[in-house]
């Protein structure tokens, strides 16, 4: 199995992610087949891609929008994938639906076609098991918006032919992306390690320690994050962010470290999904007054340390369990979610002992497994060693 610029790329799903990945592939020189069984969605994607490419041409970022758009073919039948050497699925995050689509696609494509899923948190191994040749199935997790976000998580299933990893990695680099390799565990790197950014912030809010505006202020102004956790979940959408949290929680056999919150679930149930609906943790109505944060620096530092300690613990545990190597963990969190620095570097800057102390204090206070420190963090702190 090989992929080069002459390989036709198939995309299953014409939503924001599917269309975005299709744009990346076409701009890298590939002919691209975009499939969707919803004719209206397919037509909308075609119009949006044409408009996007036209804007890029006007800005001088591409030579000809027409040339790139000419590489696309939009299809309502899977049979259009017959000539594809790579097919990437980007549809709803439901395992049953993905497995069914992969089983159908495999009947159409050649025996050498690579099949990839853009799942953000589901088991790639389980999806591969739906295919008669599971060795050609893998995960290629792009981040939204795909044309702008550099990171791609390359995820081999346990059945994946090991030769596909360097092939996929080289291809993503050719597409201008920054690939990292992740073990097929729930949430892979980013959606696993980032869970406390949202979950611990919500826990602090639910306990009445601070309101959402104050927590967001602390994480941006003191912590250096580009967006606070509540503003970010509203931007992502609770229909996406909460579902990922719930999926990771269930997939980790209900480990309390990933436990979802009722506060976010109620927003989802109310249909208050964030910016897209005009209401989430914040009210986005034109007449709504912006909440004023309490700029208590001591309180802010305490909250930042608590949330960062939980993030560092997740990164260290991911390293301990072989989810990814140190370099890929650091790259994933800086390129995938734009953290101000890699979490292992952050740990080193202030010493493993500090972060272990915060976690142990929380554990003693709450007596919850949510705050158990990774054994690797404890070992490093006992030796007064950093991560190198």
Catalytic positions are 120, 141, 153, 191
Residue 295's contacts (CB-CB under 8 Å, 6 or more residues apart) are 214, 217, 221
Contact present, 108 and 117 (Cβ < 8 Å): no
Contact present, 206 and 229 (Cβ < 8 Å): no
Helices (H), the chain: 16-27, 39-58, 65-69, 95-106, 124-128, 164-174, 190-193, 195-206, 212-217, 229-236, 238-251, 262-270, 297-320, 326-335, 343-350, 352-366, 375-382
154: Cα separation from own chain's centroid: 12
The string over 84-103, giving b where at least 16 C-beta atoms fall within 10 Å of a residue's C-beta and e elsewhere, is bbbbbbbbeeeeeebbebbe
CA pair distance 40, 102, nearest whole angstrom = 22
CA pair distance 221, 46, nearest whole angstrom = 41
Beta-bridged to residue 139, according to DSSP, are: 117, 155
* Number of neighbouring beta carbons within 10 Å of residue 63: 10
CA pair distance 248, 196, nearest whole angstrom = 12
């Amino acid at each position: 199995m090989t992929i080069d610029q002459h390989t036709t790329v198939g995309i299953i799903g014409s939503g924001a992610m599917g269309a975005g990945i299709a744009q990346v592939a076409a701009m890298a020189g590939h002919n691209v087949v975009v499939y969707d069984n919803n004719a209206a969605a397919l037509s909308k994607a075609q119009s949006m891609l044409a408009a996007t490419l036209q804007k890029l041409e006007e800005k001088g970022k591409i030579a000809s929008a027409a040339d790139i758009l000419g590489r696309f073919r939009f299809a309502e039948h899977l049979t259009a994938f017959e000539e594809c050497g790579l097919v990437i699925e980007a549809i709803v995050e439901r395992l049953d639906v993905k497995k069914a689509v992969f089983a159908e696609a495999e009947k159409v494509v050649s025996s050498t076609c690579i099949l990839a899923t853009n799942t953000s948190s589901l088991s790639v191994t389980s999806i591969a098991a739906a295919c008669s040749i599971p060795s050609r199935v893998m995960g290629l997790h792009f981040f939204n918006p795909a044309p702008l976000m550099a990171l791609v998580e390359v995820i081999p299933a346990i059945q994946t032919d090991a030769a596909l990893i360097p092939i996929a990695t080289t291809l993503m680099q050719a597409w201008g992306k920054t690939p990292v390799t992740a073990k097929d565990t729930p949430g892979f790197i980013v959606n696993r390690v980032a869970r406390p950014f949202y979950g611990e912030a919500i826990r602090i809010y639910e306990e009445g320690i601070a309101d959402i505006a104050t927590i967001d202020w602390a994480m941006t102004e003191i912590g250096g994050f580009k967006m606070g956790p509540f503003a970010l979940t509203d931007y992502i959408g609770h229909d996406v962010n909460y579902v990922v949290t719930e999926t990771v929680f269930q997939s980790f056999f209900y480990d309390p470290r990933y436990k979802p919150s009722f506060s976010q679930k109620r927003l989802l149930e109310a249909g208050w999904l964030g910016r897209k609906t005009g209401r989430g943790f914040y009210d986005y109505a034109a007449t709504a007054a912006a909440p004023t944060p309490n700029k208590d620096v001591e309180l802010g530092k305490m909250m930042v340390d608590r949330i960062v300690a939980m993030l560092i613990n997740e990164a260290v545990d991911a390293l301990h369990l072989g989810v990814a190597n140190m370099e890929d963990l650091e790259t994933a969190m800086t390129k995938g979610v734009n953290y101000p620095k890699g979490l292992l570097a952050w740990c080193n800057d202030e010493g493993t002992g500090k972060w272990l102390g915060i976690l142990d204090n929380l554990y003693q206070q709450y007596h919850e497994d949510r705050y158990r420190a990774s054994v690797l963090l404890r070992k490093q702190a006992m030796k007064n060693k950093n991560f190198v």
